[in-house]
Every structure is written in C-alpha cells, then in structure tokens.
Copies of this chain bind each other. A is one copy, B any other.
Amino acid sequence: MKPPTKTPASESLAGLVGQSVDAIDTPALVVDLDAVDRNITRMAEFARKHGILWRPHAKMHKSVVLAQLQLRSGAVGVCVQKTAEAEIMADGGIRDIYISNEVVAGPKLARVAALALRLTQENGRLAIAVDSVEGITRLGQALNESRVQHPSSATIDVFVEIDVGQGRCGVAPGGAALALAQAIHKHPRLRFAGLQAYHGKAQHLRGAQERRDAIARVVEDALSTRKLMEAHGITVDLVTGAGTGTLVCEAASGVFGEVQAGSFMFMDADYAHNERDAAQPQFEHALFVKTQVISSGEEHAVCDAGHKSHAIDSGLPKVLSADAESHLEYFNGGDEHGVLRPAGAGHRIPAIGRMLWLIPGHCDPTVNLHDFMIGVRGGLRNGTVEQIIRVDARGALT
C-alpha cells in the first residue's frame, strides 16, 4: 500500500525553512525550539541532580529527531506504547527501546521478537512490559520461534507491570507480581528486568500535596513488591515509571531508578493547571497550534482549528494572549472550527485574518493528528522557521 496522497500544503512545507513565522499557513502545529531546548536542559539537570535515569516517552512526540535530541542530552533510551512505534524508532537509529505496555497478539509478538533480535545484533536492547502468565507464555513462544530461525538468538528485557492506582493494566503489587517474575525466570530468552509502576491518574491531580500522597503509596507498593521478590531470590534491577506531573516524587523516592516523563518537552494546557511542586523544574509550553480567524461577528469570532487540529480529551485549548486588550476564550466549534469569545468586558473580538496561537489541552494525541511539526527559533511573534520535524510514528497504532 502506498501512503495516502499528500496535500500540496504538506509538500511545500520544506519551502518554509528560513522564512518568518508569518509565512506559516493555518492550522499548523508549531514547536518553539528554544523552549524545547530549555525544557530538555532542565530535565537533564534534574535527572543528574537526583542520580536517576530518564527515558522519555516517545508516544508523545513520535519523532525520531526529537528522540535523538533527548538522547544526546543524556536520556538513556525511549519508551513507546506500540510495537509499530518501536519499529519506527529502531528504523531511525534508536537502539534502546522499551515498550512500556502489554503486547499479546501473535502477529505483533512475531514483530517484537524480530525487533529484539535486530536490536541485540546492533548492540542495542528491547524491553517490554507484561502483566499476565498468558502474556509471558505468548512472548516466550514468539522468542523461541524467532530462535529457530536465527541461531544467534535474541533476548528481551521484561518488566512486570504492577497496578499502583491507575486501574488499567498491571497485576496487584506483592504475590501476583512475584508469580509473574518467577514465570519470566523460567524462560531462557526472557530476562526479568524489574517493575513497571506508572500511576497515570496521579499526574493530573491538581494539588502538589495530593500528588505527593498518591506517589507515596505507589512507592510503598513498589518497595514492598521488590522486597518480596528479593526475599525469593529475584533481583529487581530497576523500578521504572513516573510522568511529568509527579516525577519529582518518584525521583526523590530512592526506589525508582528511572523516570519516563515525556510531556515535559512540550507541556500542555492540562499540565499547566497543576499546582507546581516546588521541586519541579519550570517547564514551558513549547507546542502550539497556529490558527487564524475566518469569521467575525458581533459576539464571537471563529478560527480554523477544531478538534481535527488538536485533541480535546483533556480539555479545550487555551488562546495565547497577544496583548492585554484581547484575552480570548476558546469554545468547541466542532471538527474544523473554534469559537472565540472575549474573556470579559472590554476585550476585543478579533478581525478576519487575525493569527492566533493555541496551547493544546493534551500534547500526545494532538501531535498524532499532524504529519509534521514546524520548528521555530526566536519566538512565535518574530521568529523564523528552522526545521520541519516529521511525526514519524503518527498513526502507528499496532
């Protein structure tokens, strides 16, 4: 299957490099590269200070060049959620990849085994999460079948996922997790690598103390599970987890050895609603949707970015204010439109053609709507397009 027809607009993006931000047609996904650099520097310093590894989640940016930028700044590798994302990262030269999710389908496990072999041969490493005996059996089987075909056989690092409050994947901490670690040990091609302990819901608790309390329980669960495993002679090399909302807690725990935060690089309107923890690096918004007004009336204006341009699962985007006289609020206008109303009396309704910048509610699924991000230096107002960043793993669902 050939890829879908590209629009002339997409094909002409390369011509934007070197031009002013004014030349970017709308709607478009724009990255403030200066803010990205600052966010990465802050994360690298934070990780160094706490003596913790960072393995940012590539499910967020889905871009090989951004993954490589993070690796050059000290990241140890990438996390992904999907086998196809892992393949695309490997195609882009990333050698240390962790699928922090369960994979159980036969066709995908054959791909996982092939990728494990390939990364092993390239002195790299593939890791994956499991939360069931069934999953371990299927994974072991896939690696065994791969071994038949390739005498220089592959191994894979396997993390046992424990449910630490998310209520999604993962077994209960304690005995159930121990049983899985023991099952992994029985397979010669599977190496038990540690515990996956991610509490996604805690990332978005608004109060800093709420998040600390939630992660205190996560740490307790991870620690008691590790101790139980060690009491049964099983070494737990690594406890991995944490997102942008709580990483200060996991990093200070003495139990987690690795943080997986991805959103810190772009930030989004949802994370901006969190009360900042004093220990948290000052991450900035670096991802924006450029949009323009296509209709303007007595009570509202309409812009050309709807929820085909930005995800709304974590709330509607915020409008970046151009000046003190024109604060605008964004209302849902459907797939292709946003309705803009003045944030209060005295604020102006923008005219037709007016350019605006939106801060998306949630960066991950917003990036997934776009083929390219337009990288800008020198700010959104007077900056210059430096780079077109391909969203390599956009739509990589399997």
Contacts and interface: CB of A to CB of B under 8 A. Distances in A.
30 contacts: A1-B11, A1-B12, A1-B372, A3-B3, A4-B371, A4-B391, A5-B91, A5-B393, A7-B393, A7-B398, A8-B84, A9-B396, A9-B398, A10-B395, A25-B105, A27-B397, A59-B335, A59-B336, A81-B335, A81-B336, A82-B336, A102-B295, A105-B353, A132-B296, A135-B352, A167-B300, A168-B333, A308-B365, A313-B335, A370-B395
A70 to B, nearest CB: 19
Contacts of A269: none
A368 B84 contact: no
Contact of A4 (B59, B169, B390): B390
A353 B102 CA distance: 11
Interface in A38-66: 59
Nearest to A13: B1
Copies in the complex: 2
Contacts of A169: 294-295, 302, 337
Interface string A1-40: 1011111111111100000000001111000000000000
Contacts of A1: 6, 10-14, 372, 388, 390
Nearest to A364: B335
Contact of A398 (B26, B107, B395): B26
A244 interface: no
A88 interface: yes
Contacts of A134: 351-353
